[in-house]
Structure 1
Amino acid sequence: MDRIAITGGARLAGRIPISGAKNSAIKLMAASLLTEEPLILTNMPRLADTRFLGRLLTRLGTVVEESDDPSADVVTAGQTMSLTTREIVSGFASYDLVRQMRASFNVLGPLVARTGQAKVSLPGGCTIGARPVDLHLKALEALGARIDLHEGYVYAQAPRGLIGAEIEFPFVSVGATEHALLAAVLAQGTTVLKNAAQEPEIADLAECLNKMGAKVSGAGTPTITIEGVSRLGGARHAVIADRIEMGTYALAAAMAGGEVRLTHARPELIDALSAKMIEAGVGVTRHDDGVTITRDPAARLKAVEVTTDPYPGFATDLQAQFMALMTLAEGESLVRETIFENRFMHVPELGRLGADIAVHGGEARVRGVDALEGAQVMATDLRASVSLVIAGLAARGETTVNRVYHLDRGFERLEEKLSACGAVIRRIKGDGEPDE
């Protein structure tokens, strides 16, 4: 397995381009199952997760073609992906494929919407929490699908097609909102999703579906209305910038100190984070295409309190990274996690670097220390792994992050982007692929 080694203490200075959003790209790829015409996605990130889903879609009948602009800087230019599903050759998504990436479960709705049936493996457990798919299945049942569970698989049938319905989610769920949206666009009649998630990635998915001929309104608000259509066509769509990557590099720049400009991004998507960074003493300057982060590493950060919430609140996917920043803040910070019940697994690893963190249920109290010390640490999930990299940027000596295949799931060319700004970071190649 690969490892990443970081020698801390280097200030960062330069520019980091933000890639297309992973959380949007994989749902847009699933939308290609809804039409027999080509769906062309630009600004696509090059990630392990998009490769995993591409393999699954190929098994289902999609022709996946990837290309780069030969005249563009490979670090700044997103990939172009063409997905054409002229015919669904299989409605079966096996456990071996679905287990590699939880979001691949979202092929279920498009398959049922287009062909009337599908057999898809349940995604199984998750290291950061249970994340059950019951809301996904209840939404499909509300749309008229018959759902049967047998030996770890979901059998879904709607031989006469899906029927529009009013669906009110008992709590906000990004995955269930996206899944219901993907299924309802081909349903007969009108579907109304209430208490829907408001994430920018959902609005991005709706924009793409509308380009394909869908009739979706209200995406990005708690109520989404979908007027079903009989068929969808092809389209060309640019993936929205990754707000989690933008926030991660903003926190990396704040941790290391210096001045870094993040480009190809929408700064308003991290307003909740920016407010907390400013409160902590970090300089945040917005631009039309991004944000500039400045901090004098000689000036002590201030402890702040954060609580994760659905968008537009403080993103749970930035909680671990922000906690890393608070390990060096003066005073005691409080981090409340309200989205996932097991998302503090990075705490013991930060402790190996000298952080002083106490966890009580869904709260973590972070008492700032004068300095962190480099050590061997282990990545436990995608966002936790990058929090260790962020901590390593400021730790004395060398920090080695093991099991970085988690990082490759969601961060494109991490070492290249950081080293271009002066970070002393390198990848140590391992033997073979991890057993996931």
Structure 2
Amino acid sequence: MTTTDPARTTASNLEAEASALDASDALRIHRDAFVGAETSLVYFDGNSLGRPLRASIDRLTAFARDEWGGRLIRGWDESWMQLPFDIGDAVGRAAIGAAPGQTVIGDSTTVLLYKMVRAAFDAAVAADAARVEIVVDRDNFPTDRYLVDGIAAERGGRVRWIDVDTAGGVSAEALRAAVGRETAVVLLSHVAYRSGYLTDAAALTRIAHEAGALIVWDLCHSAGSVPVEADAWEFDIAVGCTYKYLNGGPGSPAFAYVAARLQDRLAQPIQGWMGTADVFAMGPEYRPAEGMRRFLSGTPPIVGMLAMQDTLALIEEVGIGAIRAKSIALTEFAVRVADELLAPLGVSVASPRDPAARGGHVTLAHPAMRAVTARLWAQDVIPDYRDPGGLRIGLSPLSTSFTETLAGLRAVEAAVRAERGRGTSETKRPHPAQS
């Protein structure tokens, strides 16, 4: 008499499911376009830093040789001065649902968020002196919370904090309870950095507007991963990074969106020469340019904005709808595998289980996850860690396969078992990835 090992059966079923999902994946043909996708390394951190496209390596090399090296300073007149606006419009078109003339590539995410929140606050106060509050949730990304606190202190305002579940995010009910007659600006993340919670951005924007406030959206974990309709949802302002799902590279500059109806109302607080009406007049006083140029400050970081063009073109080619469908399939598969392999070890899913309320990453919670992350990094399995006890699984739809996802989660299972065997989660913490 022969018996079947349930563990082997489960393993075989998961392997078969991953292979079948890869075979039916319409986006699988694009995976080989990414550097490193052919290796055995499992990359679970595309929500912090995306893999580069091979085309971007060629673009950067050609730029250094032909444009920078060949044209030298003539490049500014020939194309570079216009590049922040051309690439900004590409972000608007491919990733955030914005008509031309409303999106620009600028500074770092932190600097752009500061400029946009400060400009919105000043505009709100100028229109109504009673509006002195900035509303933000306590589980928003640290930069968002820190700069809001600083702006409130700087401008004589105050912060209204929203308490949220770290496995969820800001609900319509929570925001409605927080805004009111004194609200100047609301700052929210479309996808929560810790849990992956996906807000109903259109509904929350309406709630802010009904209270008479402006709203600033942080799109860092959504641009290029989930559909965004900045114009249709009547966004006021948005800021997002480009090194995650847009694959712009380490520290690539962020983008800012300002609705056309607001552009002449906002006075940006960092008045630099690149934001003036006549950049080369070198006049005695600052006169802001019309349109999105007024939100620039210093010399555009041209090299840093080159690589994202290839991903933006790919997003336009395949469509954000197809990317979102693959993202849902990947995260649903990851949750099923976690339930089968990790739940018996005490690991819980600290992200929304409803795919309509979840962005592109899944967080797995267990007290040993700090140590598990360090163990995995040493094995070329690369997730990241976020307190309290959260292992984030970032699944970039264009560069991640289902087989890779399963291999990584099997490694997580083995690492959790090893840490349970040691009886301690204390070990050296890996270098944290960006947001």
Query: TM-score normalised by the shorter chain: which range applies?
Result: under 0.3
Q: Per residue, is there more helix in 1 or in 2?
A: 2
Question: What's the TM-score, normalizing by structure 2?
Answer: 0.23
**TM-score, length-normalised on structure 1?**
0.23
Larger proportion of strand:
1
